[in-house]
């Protein structure tokens, strides 16, 4: 509790401090310095928002209140939304997305799996030096979707490949502002709630590798390559599987530095 309180207080103090300087009519600041303070308020509020979201997700996972609502979706769409939300954090990291063109629709809870990508990519941005590459790839192996998110940073803390998924685990080198150590515990909770598994490795060539699986049950609705109309996405008659979700065109985020 004291560690979390400290993590919540740091951005709050920065926000309150900057706002009080901006409100001081007796010592007006030049426009450029005002902007700097406003940017800092924005960034710190964003940071606070992410911390609180992690706390809420974790308490839902723990209380069993997490409902997995599977829909047929394209993986690009989910990855695209996570990348969009992380645009500012990832500004100094080229992100390379490699998905096979034959990848079918996958039965997932899009909001939750987006959060898995979000937490993994947030880590890849915060626990690695600026300028280093991040790779996202997916494949199908024996009826299972296999997703990999890897980076080219320092890799995981030694002998902590399992421990990183524990609640409140933070590596000793983790930056003060990186989070409260819940991001990966949430990833594991969400992936396991889908019936999949997640593992972490330090790559021999350097960098961290996260690999998770998601079972591909049921028959995906047929998706003609050029004709992505909502009617073509109706699930097969009598199918009790996930509902169909209309995919949005994915944008290319490779090299979004």
Ligand X SMILES: Nc1ncnc2c1ncn2[C@@H]1O[C@H](COP(=O)(O)OP(=O)(O)O)[C@@H](O)[C@H]1O
Answer for which of 183, 189, 221, 247 binds Mg ion (CB under 5 A) is: 183
Binding to ligand X (CB under 6 A): which residues in 101-130? 119, 123-124, 127-128
The only residue of 18, 81, 115, 178 in contact with ligand X, by rule CB under 6 A: 178
Of 247, 228, 12, 256, nearest to 135 by C-alpha is 256
Q: Residue 171: which of ligand X, Mg ion, none does it interact with, CB under 5 to 8 A by kind? A: ligand X
Burial class (CB in 10 A: 0-12, 13-18, 19+), 75: buried
Site membership for ligand X, residue 181 (CB under 6 A): yes
Beta-strand pair 134-141/208-215: unpaired
* Contact partner at residue 70 from Mg ion, ligand X, none, CB < 5 to 8 Å by partner kind: none
Least spacing, CB of residue 85 vs ligand X, in Å: 16
Q: How far is the CB of 241 from ligand X (least distance, A)?
A: 32
Residue (36 or 162) nearer to ligand X, CB: 162
Q: What three-state secondary structure class fits 102?
A: coil
191 binds, among Mg ion, ligand X, none (CB under 5 to 8 A by kind): none
Name the segment binding Mg ion (CB under 5 A); options: 11-19, 79-87, 177-185, 212-220: 177-185
For the beta sheet containing 106-108, the strands, ordered from the edge strand earlier in sequence to the opposite edge, are: 106-108, 71-73, 243-244
Determine the longest span between alpha carbons in the chain, in angstroms: 71
Q: Does 47 bind ligand X (CB under 6 A)?
A: no
Q: Of the listed pieces 14-22, 154-162, 230-238, 242-250, which binds ligand X according to CB under 6 A? A: 154-162
**Which helix (H) or strand (E) covers residue 55, if one does?**
helix 31-63
Is residue 148 a contact partner of residue 20, using CB atoms and an 8 Å limit?
no
**DSSP-assigned letter for residue 254:** B
């Amino acid at each position: 509790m004291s560690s979390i309180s400290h993590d919540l207080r740091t951005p709050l103090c920065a926000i309150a401090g900057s706002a009080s300087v901006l409100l001081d009519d007796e010592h007006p600041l030049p426009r450029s310095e005002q902007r700097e303070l406003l940017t800092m308020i924005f960034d710190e509020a964003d940071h606070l928002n992410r911390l609180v979201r992690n706390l809420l997700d974790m308490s839902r996972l723990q209380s069993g209140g997490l409902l997995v609502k599977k829909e047929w979706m394209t993986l690009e769409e989910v990855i695209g939304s996570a990348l969009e939300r992380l645009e500012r954090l990832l500004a100094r990291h080229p992100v390379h997305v490699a998905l096979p063109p034959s990848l079918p629709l996958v039965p997932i809870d899009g909001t939750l799996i987006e959060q898995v990508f979000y937490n993994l990519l947030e880590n890849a941005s915060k626990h690695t030096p600026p300028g280093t590459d991040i790779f996202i790839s997916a494949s199908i192996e024996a009826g299972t979707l296999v997703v990999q998110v890897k980076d080219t940073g320092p890799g995981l803390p030694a002998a902590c490949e399992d421990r990183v998924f524990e609640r409140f685990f933070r590596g000793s080198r983790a930056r003060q502002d990186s989070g409260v150590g819940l991001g990966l515990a949430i990833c594991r909770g969400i992936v396991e709630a889908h019936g999949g598994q997640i593992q972490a490795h330090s790559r021999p060539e350097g960098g961290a590798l996260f690999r998770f699986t998601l079972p591909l049950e049921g028959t995906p609705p047929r998706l003609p390559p050029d004709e992505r109309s909502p009617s073509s996405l109706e699930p097969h008659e009598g199918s009790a599987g996930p509902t169909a979700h209309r995919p949005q065109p994915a944008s290319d985020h490779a090299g979004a530095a």
